[in-house]
């Protein structure tokens, strides 16, 4: 059985939990590591600073139309992670970021389902044409998720991610709305994914995910 997750707006309490997760060595090691000041790095803003910001400053970050920030909640109502869509409106595309901060939920498909929900937002709600990710080589579980969901390798980028004083290569991978996406419905006889991602996608044969488990973060 796959879990279910919900995307919500982000509150100050959510930002505080994110800061706590990033203080964990295992979590920030799979994310962006530590900065030169020894503090955990994040993308788009600093949770450790923003948790103490004014309401106006917090709102400017979490309500930014060009950087959509979503809190990820489990079916049980627990806050488990954060997703972001950094939108280039003229190009109708977005870069996707996803962190499951509750490490006890890693390898239980929460990352896969959260990715599907973010793609729903991008393609169905925002009407975007393309979503892409930049995945560092040290995050193999994230690479597996993207491959299984139909992302196509578009380029190999050299030394793009600095983590703990070292530079790492990364993979740029893209997904086009309703074209390169697989049918993510629960195809009869496979039961590999929970719900349709692209309800308006043209009919096509069921293509189950490739061999091997997805190691969800």
CATH architecture of 5-176: 3-Layer(aba) Sandwich (3.40)
Given pLDDT bands bounded at 50, 70 and 90, which one contains residue 36? confident
The CA distance from 64 to 48, in Å, is 19
The CA distance from 136 to 197, in Å, is 25
Q: Minimum mean pLDDT among 14-18, 153-157, 174-178: which range?
A: 174-178
pLDDT of 163: 81
pLDDT of 195: 43
The CA distance from 70 to 18, in Å, is 12
What are the structure tokens assigned to 105, written together? 């939920």
pLDDT single digits (tens) 108-164: 999 999 999 999 999 999 999 999 999 999 899 899 999 999 999 999 999 998 887
Q: What percent of the chain has pLDDT over 70?
A: 82
Please answer whether residues 117 and 5 qualify as being in contact, where contact means their C-beta atoms are separated by less than 8 angstroms: yes
pLDDT of 179: 53
Q: Quick one: which of 131, 110, 111 has its CA closest to 121?
A: 131
pLDDT of 76: 96
pLDDT of 216: 53
Backbone angles phi, psi at 186, to 5 degrees: -75, 90
The CA distance from 14 to 71, in Å, is 7
Q: Which H or E run includes 105?
A: none
pLDDT single digits (tens) 78-89: 999 999 999 999
Given pLDDT bands bounded at 50, 70 and 90, which one contains residue 217? low
pLDDT single digits (tens) 52-67: 999 999 999 999 999 9
Domain borders along the chain are: 5-176
Work out whether the CA dihedral 156, 157, 158, 160 comes out positive or negative.
Answer: negative
What are the structure tokens assigned to 39, written together? 């503090």
pLDDT single digits (tens) 96-115: 999 999 999 999 999 999 99
The CA distance from 18 to 214, in Å, is 24
Q: Is the pLDDT of residue 169 over 70?
A: yes
pLDDT of 213: 27
Please answer whether residues 112 and 145 qualify as being in contact, where contact means their C-beta atoms are separated by less than 8 angstroms: yes
pLDDT single digits (tens) 19-29: 999 999 999 98
Q: Which residues contact 66 (CB under 8 A, 6 or more apart)?
A: 86, 87, 89
Residue 212 vs residue 49, higher pLDDT: 49
pLDDT single digits (tens) 179-215: 544 445 333 234 444 444 433 333 333 333 333 222 3
DSSP assignment string, 6-72: EEE---HHHHHHHHHHHTSHHHHHTTT-B-TTSPBP-SSS-HHHHTTS-HHHHHHHHT-TTEEEEEE
């Amino acid at each position: 059985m796959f879990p279910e997750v919900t995307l919500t707006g982000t509150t100050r309490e959510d930002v505080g939990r994110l800061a706590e997760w990033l203080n964990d060595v295992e979590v920030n090691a799979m994310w962006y590591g530590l900065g030169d000041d020894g503090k955990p790095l994040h993308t788009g803003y600093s949770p450790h600073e923003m948790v103490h910001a004014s309401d106006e400053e917090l709102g400017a970050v979490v309500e930014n139309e060009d950087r959509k920030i979503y809190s990820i909640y489990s079916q049980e109502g627990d806050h488990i992670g954060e997703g972001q869509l950094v939108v280039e409106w003229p190009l109708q595309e977005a870069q996707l970021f996803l962190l499951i901060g509750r490490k006890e939920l890693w390898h239980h498909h929460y990352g896969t389902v959260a990715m599907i929900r973010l793609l729903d937002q991008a393609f169905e709600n925002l009407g975007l044409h393309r979503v892409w990710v930049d995945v560092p080589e040290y995050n193999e579980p994230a690479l597996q998720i993207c491959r299984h969901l139909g992302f196509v390798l578009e380029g190999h980028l050299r030394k793009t991610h600095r983590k703990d004083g070292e530079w790492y290569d990364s993979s740029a991978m893209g997904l086009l709305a309703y074209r390169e996406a697989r049918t993510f419905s629960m195809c009869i006889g496979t039961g590999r994914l929970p719900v349709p991602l692209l309800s308006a996608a043209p009919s096509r044969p069921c293509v189950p995910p490739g061999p091997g488990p997805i190691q969800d973060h």
